[in-house]
Structure 1
Amino acid sequence: MEIMAFVTMGPMLKRAQAARYGIAAFNMIDYNSARSIIEGAADLQAPIIVQVSVKTIKHWGYKPIATWVRMMAEDVDVPVALHLDHCSDADVIRRCIDAGWSSVMFDGSSLPFAENKARSEEIYAMTEAAGVGLEAEIGAIGGVEDDKFVAEDSAILADYDECLAFVKNMPNLAVFAPAIGTAHGFYKGQPKIAYGLLEKITAAIPIPIALHGGTGLSQEQFDRCIAAGCAKVNISTMHKHRFIEGFIAVRTEKPKLEEPLPFITGQYEAMKKDVLDMIRAFGSAGKAAHAAGREG
């Protein structure tokens, strides 16, 4: 299994951006969820990012999550990254790095620009020293992520000039997340994506872009964002709903069932179908070798 690797996400995202496909980044919930993500990617020979929220880490613990994902990555022949999602706490970031995360995110988007830039650069120095990839964010992405809420009508698009200044001292940033009009959670109306801003940013900044708020976007919207340089595509809300729906479907079909394993299987199958659908939608099926730098 030469392609198999537990990887930092920067290099594979650069390759994905250059070839214009998106790598799915799913927020795991538990061991069963992580298994559905990694095994779904293996089935389609796709690179994959397993993301973890701070809330999930606090529930399961740093070492158990890192152990689960690393162990599963060893059994597949696709590149797998373990990524800390939206985090503003440097101590949590450090603990993830120490526990074996391959990539982390510092989210200082709620801070004034100068402070976000300064703190992001401090975390960048930490991750560079540790050989870990960093994602950083600018602007305010609407919706709910962990315990952070930004009303969609209060979301702030990233400023182009600030984007240039923000990444200037972080040339090896694994992925950059400028707010372009998408939102976390389910959309209440049609998302107004600032494609022009996205295209302007990617033309000037040689860093892969993260598309946050992937749940609920149409295939056309995914295609256009990926074609414009979004190499990392986040899916969280949809995966959480499949986790619950898989359980409910088994209970509805077999209301007297008392054996827990069929419920766990139902959850796994519902989540894995979602993983397969999104990988195909983002164009990364069959791209494991390419993302790993072993072809083309």
Structure 2
Amino acid sequence: MALVTMGPMLKRAQAARYGIAAFNMIDYNSARSIIEGANDLKAPIIVQVSVKTIKHWGYKAIATWVRMLADDVDVPVALHLDHCSDADVIRRCIDAGWTSVMFDGSALPFADNKAQSEAIYAITEAAGVGLEAEIGAIGGVEDDKFVAEDAAILANYDECVAFVSAMPNLAVFAPAIGTAHGFYKGTPKIAYDLLERITATIPIPIALHGGTGLSQEQFDRCIAGGCAKVNISTMHKHRFIEGFVNLHAEKPKLAEPLPFIVAQYDAMKRDVHDMIRAFGSEGKAVHAAGEGA
């Protein structure tokens, strides 16, 4: 199936109250595990790419890998640029074939974030590409983005309304609701009341950042509250490393690289299966593509 933009499939997911997993890929093997894992369970999927990963592998290589893998499966696959504040990187991703991008101006004062997000929105609308935008400060560490726990700020409801009113065709909106990137040091304090207030007013799917480490109950409540895109990055990276390390511990004299690559793939794909089932998107590929019920 050809790559798709994520906006329509997220709207269907939000309406039916299931979540679509958005995994941050690491390399070709990782992208395989995400896309083929989704295909195993007939689930829609979003392959996200960090700016750091793009700079390592290159725009053309990543776009080619994901497009080729998507062509070989029967589920909707979106290629998404994660947390980016550089308009040039966004333009280059669009030119290379990304189907959605995220502009992250959350570190800016609200007025500046809104103005810059609107400028990127004009670019994505003209290109037919979905846009994710963020307000508030989501804590934790993800690639080059770091927000100290005590600096995390919940999104302001009135600012959310004003922000989205200026960009009514956003593919997905990412307000800070108390989750954090990376592993949680304590129990996440999710502002469910803020999430429910936002989704009661704003008819745009919500992105749940910081999915690694949340409980099934927390996932269920966030998805029921309107979170249609659920980001998983840290856990996927750890499975990538564990696949190698665990096999090396089991067979320390093994010197053939391919078994390690297979072990990494298997570990990551098990994680993809687990998250798809946790978010309720198993068997939803046809629904997300706009066919059937």
Is TM (by shorter chain) over 0.5? yes
Q: CA deviation at 1:172?
A: 0.6
- Deviation beyond 2 Å, 4+ runs, structure 1: none
Partners in 1 of 2:65 and 2:129 — Cα distance?
19
The answer for the alignment partner of 2:124 in structure 1 is: 127
The answer for the alignment partner of 1:261 in structure 2 is: 258
Partners in 1 of 2:227 and 2:280 — Cα distance?
12
The answer for the alignment partner of 1:278 in structure 2 is: 275
3-state SS of paired residue (2:180): coil
Query: 2:75 aligned to 75, 78, 86, which one?
Result: 78
The answer for the alignment partner of 2:288 in structure 1 is: 291
The one-letter code matched in structure 2 to 1:243 is F
Matched, 1:48 2:45: yes
CA deviations on 1:188-213 (whole Å, 9 max, x unpaired) are 00000000000000000000000000
Matched, 1:28 2:36: no
1:5–1:78 Cα contact (<8 Å) kept: no
The answer for the alignment partner of 2:171 in structure 1 is: 174
Partners in 2 of 1:146 and 1:253 — Cα distance?
30
Q: Give ranges in structure 2 of 5+ residues lacking alignment.
A: none
3-state SS of paired residue (2:74): coil
Query: 1:247 aligned to 230, 244, 248, which one?
Result: 244
3-state SS of paired residue (2:105): coil
CA deviations on 1:30-65 (whole Å, 9 max, x unpaired) are 000000000000000000000000000000000000
CA deviations on 1:83-133 (whole Å, 9 max, x unpaired) are 000000000000000000000000000000000000000000000000000
3-state SS of paired residue (2:211): coil
Partners in 1 of 2:203 and 2:145 — Cα distance?
29
3-state SS of paired residue (2:108): coil
3-state SS of paired residue (2:101): strand
Partners in 1 of 2:231 and 2:119 — Cα distance?
25
The answer for the alignment partner of 1:105 in structure 2 is: 102
1:157–1:179 Cα contact (<8 Å) kept: yes
Partners in 1 of 2:213 and 2:94 — Cα distance?
32
Partners in 2 of 1:254 and 1:188 — Cα distance?
33
Q: CA deviation at 1:295?
A: 1.0
Partners in 1 of 2:166 and 2:152 — Cα distance?
26
1:84–1:101 Cα contact (<8 Å) kept: yes
The one-letter code matched in structure 1 to 2:128 is G
3-state SS of paired residue (2:189): coil
1:182–1:193 Cα contact (<8 Å) kept: yes
Query: 1:190 aligned to 166, 187, 196, which one?
Result: 187
Q: CA deviation at 1:146?
A: 1.8
- TM-score normalized by the length of structure 2: 0.99
The answer for the alignment partner of 1:226 in structure 2 is: 223
Q: CA deviation at 1:151?
A: 1.1
Report how many residues are paired: 293
3-state SS of paired residue (1:78): coil
The answer for the alignment partner of 2:57 in structure 1 is: 60
**What RMSD in Å do the two structures reach over aligned CA positions?**
0.5
Percent identity of paired positions between Structure 1 and Structure 2: 87
The one-letter code matched in structure 1 to 2:238 is H
1:245–1:270 Cα contact (<8 Å) kept: yes
The one-letter code matched in structure 2 to 1:260 is P
2:2–2:67 Cα contact (<8 Å) kept: no
1:5–1:77 Cα contact (<8 Å) kept: no
Q: CA deviation at 1:5?
A: 3.4
